Copies of this chain bind each other. A is one copy, B any other.
Amino acid sequence: MTFRRSTLALAILGLLENGPLHPYGIQRLIKQWGKDQVVNVGQRTSLYRMIVRLEEAELITAGATEQDERYPERTVYHLTDEGREVCREWLAEILTTPRNEFPEFPAGLSFVMLLPPETAGELLGQRRERLTKRIAELQLELRSEVDGQPVPRFALLETEYQVAVAVAEAKWIDSVLHDLRTGTLTWTPGPV
C-alpha cells in the first residue's frame, strides 16, 4: 500500500521536517513561504483530508494536543521516520523524471485549427500580454527580501524555473504571432 504522491502530501511532509505542527499552522506556513504558488491547496478541505490520510499511512503521527485557552484544541503532528524516507523518495522521483501532466494549453493548441487564423492570433496576443505580467510578478519575487536580507537563491529555485519556462513560452508565442501576421503560418479553419 504505497501512498500516492502529490504536491500537497510532499509539502506537508516537507514542512514537518521543520518541526511538529498543527494543521492550521501548516496551512499558514504554506502561505507564508509562498508554497501556495507551487502546491495546490485551494480549500482547507484538501489539507485536512490529506493529513488524516498521511496519519493512517503512518507517515505522520499525532502528538500532544496543545491547549491554548483562547483557541480550540490543536493536534500537533510529527513526521515519522517512514515519512521522512518517503519524502526523500518522492523528491528523487520528482526531480529526476520529467512527466507529462497534460496542461491545457498544449491541448488547446492542438485544436487551434478549428478557429480562423485571425482569431487564433488575437487570442494568443491576449495570452502574451498576461504572460508579460506574470513574468514581471515572478521577477519581483526573485528580488524579494526578508528582514532586509535578500532571500537566498536556493530558496527561489522554483521561481527561477517558472520564469525560465514562462519566458520560453512568451518567445514561442511571439514567433507564432509573427508568422501569423506575415502569413507564413496559416490554415483554413474547420474540421481537421
Contacts and interface: CB of A to CB of B under 8 A. Distances in A.
Interface of A: 5-7, 10-11, 14-15, 17-19, 33, 35, 37-40, 87-88, 90-92, 94-115, 120, 123-124, 126-127, 130-131, 134, 152-155, 157-158, 160-162, 164-169, 171-172, 176, 185-187, 190-192
Q: Which of A15, A126, A157 has the most B CB atoms < 10 Å from its CB?
A: A157
Contacts of A90: 108
Nearest to A15: B192
12 contacts: A10-B108, A14-B111, A17-B192, A38-B107, A91-B112, A97-B126, A98-B130, A103-B103, A109-B161, A164-B168, A165-B169, A165-B172
B185 A154 contact: yes
A186 B126 CA distance: 39
* 6 closest residue pairs by CB, A with B: A168-B168, A94-B108, A7-B107, A164-B172, A95-B123, A109-B158
A141 to B, nearest CB: 12
Contact of A115 (B11, B88, B152, B192): B88
Contact of A91 (B37, B88, B114, B186): B114
Given A7-B102, A38-B107, A103-B103, 11 more contacts: A11-B111, A92-B123, A95-B105, A95-B112, A96-B130, A98-B134, A105-B161, A109-B157, A110-B157, A157-B176, A165-B172
A38 B123 contact: no
